[in-house]
Amino acid sequence: MATSHDENKEKAIKYEYLDHTADVQLHAWGDDLKEAFEQVATAMFGYMTELDKVEIEQTKEITAEGDDMINLLFHFLDEFLFLMCVDPYFIVKEVEILEFDKENFKIRAIGRGEAFDLDKHPQGTEVKAITYSNMQIYDENDKHEVYVIIDI
């Protein structure tokens, strides 16, 4: 039986592995945990556009609840991300937490900013989601920090 010459040849490899970064880690801190939460939300919006181009024309209120502090931080950021995902897209320049209940894991906060406008706001990187991956919260006497990885 005749064997085709190609049957015994190895197929050429026609693929490669390329490095791809789909995540960015945000690190924020403050004089207390409330400020660290405010700062990490602001950092997320700063990744989407240049915040110095954003004017404060409107205020949007969000509420978030969680089962623990990590879950609360996730929902807090997710609520703010939602503002940028629904039309009209709202870009936040400043975040202020009005109520921060660390015992019952509830937050009421406002974001100050304006409708996102590509003619005015340089488009940075789209944030697709907040992740729980390696999320960290430190709330000690002299250390109030959060680390959050966002999917971009």
Q: What is the pLDDT of residue 101?
A: 98
Q: Is residue 54 part of a domain?
A: yes
Q: What is the pLDDT of residue 18?
A: 55
Q: Is residue 18 part of a domain?
A: no
Q: What is the mean pLDDT of residues 76-105?
A: 96
Adjacent-strand bridge partners of 140: 143
Question: Which of the two residues, 9 and 68, has the higher pLDDT score?
Answer: 68
What's the rounded Cα separation, in Å, for the pair 77 and 148? 9
Distance between start and end Cα atoms, the chain: 56
Q: What is the pLDDT of residue 114?
A: 97
What's the rounded Cα separation, in Å, for the pair 62 and 85? 14
Q: Is residue 49 part of a domain?
A: yes
- Residue 5 pLDDT > 70: no
3-state secondary structure of 64: strand
For the chain, the domain total comes to 1
Q: Is residue 12 part of a domain?
A: no
Q: What is the pLDDT of residue 140?
A: 96
Domain extent for 61 = 24-151
What's the rounded Cα separation, in Å, for the pair 150 and 147? 10
User: Any idea what the CATH number is for the domain that residue 118 is in?
Assistant: 3.55.10.10
Q: What is the pLDDT of residues 68-78, one digit of tens each?
A: 999 999 999 99
